[in-house]
Amino acid sequence: MIRITSARMNGFLLLKIVAVLAIGFVVAGCARTNYVGYDKETVSVPGLPMRTVAVQVDDAYFSDFPDCTIIMPTRTAAGLEYFKPLVEEALGYHMTRKVARVVGRTERDLRARQASLEVGRIEDRKVLAEATECKTLLYSRVVGPGHTYLVVWSQVQIGLEVVMLRATDGHVLWKARHIADRSDGGLPLSPIGIVVATYSSSQFSSDREIAESVVDDAVRRIVRSLPNARTYR
């Protein structure tokens, strides 16, 4: 009986290993970012690298490739203000690979203060664009839930939308949206599992760099959908 039980246990263990490997192969095959039309839904499955970026590029973008853009103040849902500077900084960095000149939040705010401009007003935005010789404005919006902490499982998830407008008339040249997330912890199946999951979840939740990484992932994937204006000028 002992031999039979051991054989069965070994068989179950083998099946579990095979199942884990199979899941690993499936996940690896899904580890890519899909770019779809803007009317499609974006997808994010916590714990799995299934990613979708919805994008739309207007014909006007190709007829007059922008050589400069201004990173405008990021809008967020209530309780997500922490993400504002992270998004603006990430956009300022990644957009330099697509557009010859990027006016980041530091230069934007300095110029606005010097000229007594309120970037929330349409007319002042036009004046700012003229002063910086930029033809486009880059807007972004962050939605939640942001941070989620459930003792044995933690997650940072944001939905990000980025829109490029022509400064003169507000015409939308490009827009894209994406949901990015990271999580840690899990469903504990034993007392030891509870301890391990709780520790992992707590460490994850207290790591401020996680939010920066999630924002950078979202911005990088979104900006990748923008045709490179640097190569066309």
Q: What is the pLDDT of residues 171-221, one digit of tens each?
A: 999 999 999 887 666 555 566 666 556 646 565 555 567 888 989 999 999
Asked if residue 7 is part of any domain, the answer here is no
**Which pTM was predicted?**
0.76
Q: How high is the pLDDT of residue 79?
A: 86
Residue 140: beta bridge partners?
162
User: Do the domain assignments include residue 24?
Assistant: no
128 contacts: CB under 8 Å, gap ≥ 6:
70, 108, 111, 112, 115, 117, 119
Split into its structural domains, the chain has a count of 1
Q: Is residue 15 part of a domain?
A: no
The answer to whether position 75 is within a domain reads yes
Backbone angles phi, psi at 53, to 5 degrees: -115, 125
User: How far apart, in whole angstroms, are the C-alpha atoms of residue 180 and residue 215?
Assistant: 7
In a domain, 71, yes or no: yes
Q: What is the pLDDT of residues 81-108, one digit of tens each?
A: 989 999 999 999 999 999 999 999 999 9
**What distances in angstroms separate CA 108 from CA 74, 104, 163, one per listed residue?**
13, 6, 17
Q: Residues 25-52: pLDDT tens digits? A: 343 344 588 999 988 766 555 545 568 9
Q: The CATH number of the domain where 141 resides is what?
A: 3.40.50.10610
Whether 154 maps to a domain, the answer reads yes
The Cβ of residue 193 has, within 10 Å, a number of other Cβ atoms equal to: 13
Q: Does residue 70 lie within any of the structural domains?
A: yes
User: 166 is in which domain, residue-wise?
Assistant: 33-232
Token reading at 83: 């993400």
Q: Is the pLDDT of residue 119 over 90?
A: no
Does residue 22 form part of some domain?
A: no
